[in-house]
Amino acid sequence: MAMFSLLRRYPALRWLWLIQLVSMAAMEMSGPFWTLHLQQHSGLRGTALSLFSALVYAGPVITAMLCTPLWGKLGDKTGHRWMLLRALAALVLTQAWLAICTDPFWIAAIRLLQGAIAGFIAASQAYGSGITQKAQRQPLMAALQVATAAGSVLGPLAGGLLYGQLGLAAVNWLAAALCLLCIPAAWFCLPDIRPPARSLTSVHEPQQPQTAWQWRDSALPGLLAGIVLIQSAKTLPQSYFALYVSEVLHQDTRFTGLAYGLTAAGLCLAAPLWADAFARWNQAQIRQRLVLLCLASATLMLVQSLWLTPLVFLTCRLLWGVLLGALLPVFYSLISAGSPHSAQGLALALGNSAAKAGALAGTAAGALMMLLIPLHALFYAVAAAYLLTAVCLLYLPVVQISDEEQQHLHFS
C-alpha cells in the first residue's frame, strides 16, 4: 500500500506517525469520563452537570476552530516543526493542570485554553505536507488518520483501566507524561523544514477568477449540510455515554473504555475498504449508499438501546464504527471532486468547519437531552437523528458531478 511505502521512504514521517499516535492516545484517555468525573467529584447534578459537560466537551472544539488557523498561519512563517513542539508543550501543561484541578469552573476554563493553544493535528498535517510531494499527500493524510484512529482506540482502553483504579487525576498525569516524552522525539527526530521563500513568479501570478464556483446549481451547500447532520448524529451521545453505561447498563469504566474504543477501531479498520468500494460506484449509487448507511446506523442505535447482552452492545459499537468509516470521508471526497482546483482549499476548509459545527451541535443537543429525556431512552434520540439524516440526504444535492469525474474520486 502507498501509505506503508511512504512511511518506509521518509524516516521523519515514521517518527511523526508515532508521535501523533502517542499524543492522540494520551488526549483520548480522559475523553469518555469527564461527565462521570464532574458528577462524582464535583457534586454537579441536573442543569449544572449538563452545562459543565457541554463546556468540557464543546468548549475546546470552539476555541480550536477559532485559533487553529492563527497557529497555521504562524507555522507558515516560522516552520511547522515549531508548531508541533508548541502544541505538545501546551498539551503537557494543560493536562498537568487538569490533574491537580477539581473545581468545575477551572476544569472548563482549562479545557477551553487547551483547545485554543494546542492544535497538534493541523500542525502535524502541515509538517508532513512540507516534506512530501503533492502526489504523496493522500497516503500521508491516510497515515496520519490511522495514527489518530489508533490513538482513539488505545487511549480510552488505557484510560478506562486507570480511571477505575486511581481516578481521573492519574489519567491526566499519564497523559501529560506521554506528551512530554514526545517533545524530545520531535526535537531530535523531526528535521526543521523552513517554509520556502515566495518567488517573484508567484507574487505577480494573476489570480484566477472564482466565478466558476457558483453556489447556485452546486452540490457544495448540500454537502456541507450533510456533514453537519452526520457529525451531529455521531457526537450526540458523547455527553452522556459514560453516565449511560454506568447508571443504565451498570457496567464499570473498563467497559466504558472498551465500548468507546471499539467504535474508533471499526472506523480505522473499515475506512480503506469503504474507499475502494465508493470509488467503483456512480453518483446515484453514492447517494443510495449514504442513505442506507444512515438507516443502518439508526438500526444499530435501536439494537444497542435494547441492551440484550454486553456482547451485543459491544458488537453494535464496533459495527457503528465500521459505518462511520464511510460517511465523512465520502463527503470530503465529493467536495474535492466537485470544486475547481483554484477553490480546493476554501471548499475543504468549509467542509472542516461544517464538521466542527456538527460536532458542536451534537454535543450541545446531547447535553440538553439529558434534561429532557430519561437516561435509558437517550439512544433512541440518536436513532431518530440518523433517520432524519437519511431523509434529508434523499433531497439534499449531495452529488452533482459527471460520470467522467467520478473515476477521479479518492476516498482516503
Determine the average pLDDT of the residues in 154-161.
Answer: 86
pLDDT band per the 50, 70, 90 thresholds, residue 211: very low
pLDDT in tens, 252-267: 777 887 887 788 788 7
pLDDT of residue 345: 44
Measured from the Cβ of residue 155, the count of other Cβ atoms closer than 10 Å reads 29
With cell 520531535, the residue in question is 186
With cell 433531497, the residue in question is 395
Here the cell at position 48 is 449544572
In SS3 terms, 255-306 reads as: HHHHHHHHHHHHHHHHHHHHHHHHCCCCHHHHHHHHHHHHHHHHHHHHHHHH
pLDDT of residue 300: 92
CA 54/CA 4 separation, integer angstroms: 39
Q: Which CATH superfamily is domain 218-412 in?
A: MFS general substrate transporter like domains (1.20.1250.20)
pLDDT of residue 120: 82
pLDDT band per the 50, 70, 90 thresholds, residue 142: low
pLDDT band per the 50, 70, 90 thresholds, residue 3: low
Query: 1-194 belongs to which CATH class?
Result: mainly alpha
- 362-to-18, 110, 348 alpha-carbon distances in Å: 31, 22, 21
Strand (E) or helix (H) holding 372? helix 344-372
CA 227/CA 351 separation, integer angstroms: 7
Report the first-to-last Cα separation within the chain, whole angstroms: 12
Residue 185: burial class (beta carbons within 10 Å; 0-12, 13-18, 19+): middle
- Say whether pLDDT at 126 is over 80: no
The pLDDT mean for the chain works out to 79
pLDDT band per the 50, 70, 90 thresholds, residue 284: confident
pLDDT of residue 405: 42
pTM: 0.68
pLDDT of residue 89: 96
CA 17/CA 143 separation, integer angstroms: 7
- 274-to-102, 211, 220, 319 alpha-carbon distances in Å: 43, 34, 22, 13
- Residue 172 sits at φ, ψ, to 5 deg, of -70, -35
Half-sphere exposure of 390 (CA within 13 A, CB side): 17
CA 142/CA 353 separation, integer angstroms: 20
Query: Helices (DSSP H) in 131-216: which residue ranges?
Result: 137-166, 168-189, 200-204
Determine the average pLDDT of the residues in 131-156.
Answer: 74
pLDDT in tens, 60-115: 888 887 887 777 778 778 887 998 999 999 999 999 999 998 888 999 999 999 98
pLDDT in tens, 344-387: 446 655 777 787 788 888 878 887 888 888 878 888 888 998 99
Fold identical between 1-194 and 218-412?
yes
- Say whether pLDDT at 160 is over 80: yes
pLDDT of residue 226: 87
- Say whether pLDDT at 152 is over 60: yes
pLDDT in tens, 170-181: 999 999 999 999
Q: Which of 19-28, 122-131, 315-324, 374-383 has the lowest mean pLDDT?
A: 122-131
Domain positions in the chain: 1-194, 218-412
Determine the average pLDDT of the residues in 134-143.
Answer: 64
With cell 439508526, the residue in question is 298
pLDDT of residue 19: 96
